Amino acid sequence: MTPATSITWQHLAPNAKSSYKQLFVKGTRIRARVLYGMYMSAEEPMAPEQIAAEFNLPLEAVKEAIAYCQSNPPEIAQDFEREERLMQASGMNEPDYKCGGKFKVVPADELARILKS
Protein backbone atom coordinates (compact mmCIF):
# COMPACT_ATOMS: atom_id res chain seq x y z
CA MET A 1 0.00 0.00 0.00
CA THR A 2 1.17 3.56 -0.66
CA PRO A 3 2.68 5.31 2.38
CA ALA A 4 0.21 7.62 4.12
CA THR A 5 2.45 10.65 3.62
CA SER A 6 2.14 10.48 -0.18
CA ILE A 7 -1.65 10.32 -0.20
CA THR A 8 -3.84 13.40 -0.29
CA TRP A 9 -6.64 12.72 2.15
CA GLN A 10 -10.00 14.35 1.53
CA HIS A 11 -11.39 13.96 5.06
CA LEU A 12 -8.24 13.76 7.19
CA ALA A 13 -5.70 16.37 8.26
CA PRO A 14 -3.27 17.10 11.10
CA ASN A 15 -4.63 19.05 14.07
CA ALA A 16 -2.28 21.95 14.87
CA LYS A 17 -3.81 22.29 18.36
CA SER A 18 -2.92 18.72 19.32
CA SER A 19 0.33 17.13 20.42
CA TYR A 20 -0.70 14.06 18.40
CA LYS A 21 0.99 13.87 15.00
CA GLN A 22 -1.47 11.41 13.49
CA LEU A 23 -4.33 12.61 11.31
CA PHE A 24 -7.75 13.68 12.54
CA VAL A 25 -11.10 13.89 10.77
CA LYS A 26 -11.09 17.45 9.41
CA GLY A 27 -13.00 19.95 11.51
CA THR A 28 -13.15 17.61 14.53
CA ARG A 29 -10.98 16.48 17.40
CA ILE A 30 -11.51 12.84 16.37
CA ARG A 31 -8.27 10.97 15.67
CA ALA A 32 -8.40 8.51 12.78
CA ARG A 33 -6.94 5.86 15.12
CA VAL A 34 -9.97 6.15 17.42
CA LEU A 35 -12.29 5.26 14.54
CA TYR A 36 -9.99 2.46 13.43
CA GLY A 37 -9.94 1.08 16.97
CA MET A 38 -13.72 0.84 16.94
CA TYR A 39 -13.61 -0.91 13.57
CA MET A 40 -10.94 -3.41 14.73
CA SER A 41 -12.23 -3.94 18.29
CA ALA A 42 -11.82 -7.56 19.40
CA GLU A 43 -14.80 -7.33 21.76
CA GLU A 44 -17.30 -5.33 19.73
CA PRO A 45 -16.14 -4.49 16.20
CA MET A 46 -18.30 -1.94 14.45
CA ALA A 47 -19.05 -1.59 10.75
CA PRO A 48 -17.92 1.66 9.10
CA GLU A 49 -21.60 2.61 8.72
CA GLN A 50 -22.16 2.22 12.47
CA ILE A 51 -19.10 4.32 13.30
CA ALA A 52 -20.19 7.04 10.88
CA ALA A 53 -23.64 7.13 12.51
CA GLU A 54 -22.18 7.12 16.05
CA PHE A 55 -19.97 10.15 15.33
CA ASN A 56 -22.27 11.85 12.81
CA LEU A 57 -19.56 11.64 10.13
CA PRO A 58 -19.67 10.97 6.42
CA LEU A 59 -19.14 7.27 5.70
CA GLU A 60 -16.27 8.20 3.38
CA ALA A 61 -14.46 9.91 6.28
CA VAL A 62 -14.63 6.70 8.32
CA LYS A 63 -13.47 4.57 5.39
CA GLU A 64 -10.61 7.00 4.81
CA ALA A 65 -9.59 6.83 8.48
CA ILE A 66 -9.52 3.03 8.26
CA ALA A 67 -7.41 3.11 5.08
CA TYR A 68 -5.02 5.63 6.67
CA CYS A 69 -4.50 3.44 9.74
CA GLN A 70 -4.11 0.29 7.65
CA SER A 71 -1.28 2.02 5.75
CA ASN A 72 0.67 1.87 9.05
CA PRO A 73 1.73 5.54 9.19
CA PRO A 74 4.80 6.11 11.40
CA GLU A 75 3.17 9.02 13.23
CA ILE A 76 0.70 6.67 14.95
CA ALA A 77 3.54 4.55 16.35
CA GLN A 78 5.33 7.73 17.42
CA ASP A 79 2.19 8.97 19.21
CA PHE A 80 1.88 5.63 21.06
CA GLU A 81 5.55 5.75 22.07
CA ARG A 82 5.19 9.35 23.32
CA GLU A 83 2.12 8.40 25.38
CA GLU A 84 3.98 5.43 26.85
CA ARG A 85 6.92 7.65 27.92
CA LEU A 86 4.50 10.13 29.50
CA MET A 87 2.67 7.36 31.38
CA GLN A 88 6.00 5.99 32.62
CA ALA A 89 7.22 9.42 33.77
CA SER A 90 3.96 10.18 35.59
CA GLY A 91 3.76 6.84 37.40
CA MET A 92 0.72 5.58 35.54
CA ASN A 93 2.52 2.32 34.69
CA GLU A 94 3.17 1.50 38.37
CA PRO A 95 1.33 -1.68 39.47
CA ASP A 96 -0.58 0.06 42.28
CA TYR A 97 -1.54 3.16 40.28
CA LYS A 98 -5.11 1.96 39.59
CA CYS A 99 -5.53 0.99 43.24
CA GLY A 100 -4.88 4.43 44.72
CA GLY A 101 -1.28 4.86 43.62
CA LYS A 102 0.25 8.31 43.40
CA PHE A 103 0.42 10.36 40.22
CA LYS A 104 3.87 11.88 39.83
CA VAL A 105 4.09 15.47 38.67
CA VAL A 106 6.35 15.50 35.63
CA PRO A 107 8.75 18.46 35.68
CA ALA A 108 8.14 20.97 32.87
CA ASP A 109 11.49 20.33 31.18
CA GLU A 110 10.90 16.56 31.18
CA LEU A 111 7.35 17.03 29.88
CA ALA A 112 8.61 19.28 27.08
CA ARG A 113 11.24 16.69 26.16
CA ILE A 114 8.67 13.88 26.06
CA LEU A 115 6.16 15.85 24.00
CA LYS A 116 8.80 17.04 21.55
CA SER A 117 10.12 13.58 20.76
Q: Is the pLDDT of residue 76 over 90?
A: yes
Q: Say if residues 71 and 14 touch (Cβ distance below 8 Å).
A: no
Structural domain containing residue 107: 75-116
Average pLDDT over residues 22-31: 96
67 with 98, same domain: the answer is no
Contacts of residue 53, defined as CB under 8 A and 6 or more positions apart, other chains included, come to: none
Residue 2: pLDDT band (50, 70, 90) is: very low
Q: Count up the domains in the chain and report the number.
A: 2
- Please give the angle made by the CA atoms of 28, 34 and 89, to the nearest 5 degrees: 105
Largest CA distance in the chain: 46
Residue 1: pLDDT band (50, 70, 90) is: very low
Using DSSP's 3-state secondary structure scheme, residue 63 falls into: helix
Average pLDDT over residues 31-51: 96
Q: Say if residues 114 and 89 touch (Cβ distance below 8 Å).
A: yes
109 with 81, same domain: the answer is yes
Using DSSP's 3-state secondary structure scheme, residue 44 falls into: coil
10 with 48, same domain: the answer is yes
56 with 79, same domain: the answer is no
pLDDT in tens, 56-72: 999 999 999 999 999 99
pLDDT in tens, 100-115: 666 677 777 777 777 6
